[in-house]
Amino acid sequence: MSDFDPIEEVIEALQAGQMIVLVDERALDVDGSELVGEGELMMIAELADSNSVHFLARHAGGPVYVAAETNHLEKLGLDAASAGATGPRGASYMVPVNARDVEGTGVSAHERALTIRRLADPESTPRDFVQPGHVTPIAAQSGGILRRAGHTEGSVDLARLATFSPPVAVLASILDDDGEVASTPYLLNFATRHGLKIATLRDLIAYRSRSEKLVNLEARARMPTRHGEFTTYAYRSLVDGSPYIALVMGVVDVGEPTLVRMHSCCVTGDALGSNLCDCGEQLQAAMAMIAAEGRGVIVYIQSHEGRGIGVLHKLKAYELQQEQGLDTIEANHALGLPADSRDYGIGAQVLQDLGLRELRLLTNNPRKRVGLDGYGLRVVEQVTIAADPNPHNIRYLRTKRDRMGHSTLLEEGDRSDAQSA
């Protein structure tokens, strides 16, 4: 029996004005290492009062935020905290606000509750707020938790499933008794101690995946390649319209674990033959491995170019690496961008639409495994892809191994420093 409550019961609790605990069992730190858990105390913003805001601040311990869909926050005329203001996992923060009719400083529980309710009021306008203030709004990505598996999106999804419109939630990170991010056992005990329902992002993802579809099959055609004939399935995301191309060989909807590669688009490596990365080699190796097995799937994700930052920013990052000696993570950060902003929710729906359930995932990146787990899919094996280093990408591969946890096959003096780079 699960330690967590069914999503249906969590929705009922939120509708009754109760708080719940929302847990990410597989949260990743910015360097790709896995945390033991991360939890948020949340409730429906429309129902917030001084008692609930005081409880959030006192018992959760972390900052209190208001999560809402981007279009709702834009309607209220709220400004981003700064250009490209995102947290380490892609969360988008706004400048803190007060409700204009707050009579004091806006910091008391009563005054913050008033601001929170104003943020959730469908009749509110930009004139109802002043900036800066003491309540920080945070924008959820369109598509919700199926697009980005984060607490922000999860809390807004739960508000929507609880039939509140606009769906706006208030949440705060739960810290343990030492002031550190609370572990899953601590969160379970916290929920029991306070009589709260507790659910996981994984279960919320599965709940939505069972009832919603966010991709549409647009075309299908045969594609002969040097590795044999694949069938291409062209999908369009119903969230943002971006294309997802699935290369399929053999019969894959047979209920058996299937070789799968989630390949991030890399124009420089895949199409131009760049030696600055190993992307092109990994793509060709994955196609060859699938051809040798006679069945498998490659999902080619155009929006993942440059680990999600786009080709122009990627080339700017290359410039910083070459002129200032930064590594790939440092260069992204110098540009004000996250080290990795990719999500796999829409790609997971492509796999589901093709009939896959159990995957043998072709990747050196443990984050991809975590990103797919919970979307109604189960990764039964991570299969490493070998790509020989060269003098131009040896530092890049070392950075992925040492700072991002990739299981690259760099050994034997890193292949004699990529043949004496």
State the pLDDT at residue 56: 95
- Whether residue 5 is predicted with pLDDT greater than 90 in this model: the reply is yes
Let me know whether 250 and 358 are in one domain: yes
- Whether residue 75 is predicted with pLDDT greater than 50 in this model: the reply is yes
For 293-340, the pLDDT digits (tens) are: 999 999 999 999 999 899 999 999 999 999 999 999 999 989 988 888
Residue 1 counted as domain residue = no
The CATH number of the domain holding residue 345 is: 3.40.50.10990
Let me know whether 185 and 112 are in one domain: yes
State the pLDDT at residue 77: 93
Question: Is 342 one of the annotated active-site residues of the chain?
Answer: yes
Let me know whether 124 and 218 are in one domain: no
Let me know whether 223 and 321 are in one domain: yes
State the pLDDT at residue 371: 65
Q: Which of 413, 359, 365 is nearest to 385 (CA)?
A: 365
Let me know whether 86 and 177 are in one domain: yes
Residue 2 counted as domain residue = no
Give dist(CA 135, CA 64) in Å, integer: 7
Let me know whether 238 and 159 are in one domain: no
The CATH number of the domain holding residue 82 is: 3.90.870.10
- Whether residue 2 is predicted with pLDDT greater than 90 in this model: the reply is no
- List the domain range (segments joined by +) for residue 283: 214-420
Residue 226: count of CB within 10 angstroms of its CB = 8
The residues with which 145 forms a beta bridge, in sequence order, are none
State the pLDDT at residue 386: 84
Query: To the nearest whole percent, how much of the chain has pLDDT over 90?
Result: 67
State the pLDDT at residue 193: 96
Give dist(CA 360, CA 385) in Å, integer: 12
Let me know whether 11 and 158 are in one domain: yes
Residue 279 counted as domain residue = yes
State the pLDDT at residue 88: 47
Cis check for the bond before 63: say yes or no (omega within 30 of 0): no
- Regarding pTM above 0.85, the answer is no
Q: Which of 184, 212, 264 is nearest to 375 (CA)?
A: 212
Give the DSSP H/E element, type plus range, for residue 333: helix 328-334
For 132-186, the pLDDT digits (tens) are: 999 999 999 888 887 787 899 999 999 999 999 999 999 999 999 999 989 889 9
Highest mean pLDDT among 23-32, 317-326, 399-408: 317-326
Q: Which of 160, 181, 209 is the last residue of a domain?
A: 209
Residue 88 counted as domain residue = yes
| Choice among 342, 369, 395, 398 that is catalytic | 342
Q: Which of 178, 209, 240 is the last residue of a domain?
A: 209
Give dist(CA 13, CA 159) in Å, integer: 11
Cα→Cα distances 188→62, 111, 150, 165, 373, Å: 17, 31, 19, 30, 21
State the pLDDT at residue 80: 80
State the pLDDT at residue 79: 82
One-letter amino acid for residue 419 of the chain = Q
Let me know whether 50 and 118 are in one domain: yes
Longest CA–CA span in the chain (Å) reads 71
| Choice among 157, 270, 327, 340 that is catalytic | 340
Give dist(CA 394, CA 409) in Å, integer: 12
Output b/e per residue, 357-382; b: 16+ Cβ within 10 A: eebbbbbbbbbbbbbbbbbbbebeeb
Let me know whether 204 and 234 are in one domain: no
Residue 355 counted as domain residue = yes
- Whether residue 92 is predicted with pLDDT greater than 80 in this model: the reply is yes
Q: Which of 156, 184, 209 is the last residue of a domain?
A: 209
* Total number of domains constituting the chain: 2
State the pLDDT at residue 266: 95
State the pLDDT at residue 173: 94
In 3-state terms, what secondary structure has residue 416?
helix
- Whether residue 268 is predicted with pLDDT greater than 70 in this model: the reply is yes
Residue 121 counted as domain residue = yes
Let me know whether 237 and 147 are in one domain: no
Let me know: does 40 contact 172? Beta carbons within 8 Å: yes
Let me know whether 239 and 192 are in one domain: no
One-letter amino acid for residue 378 of the chain = R
Give dist(CA 231, CA 191) in Å, integer: 49
Let me know whether 324 and 345 are in one domain: yes
Highest mean pLDDT among 87-96, 113-122, 333-342: 113-122
Residue 414 counted as domain residue = yes
Residue 18 counted as domain residue = yes
State the chain's mean pLDDT as an integer: 88
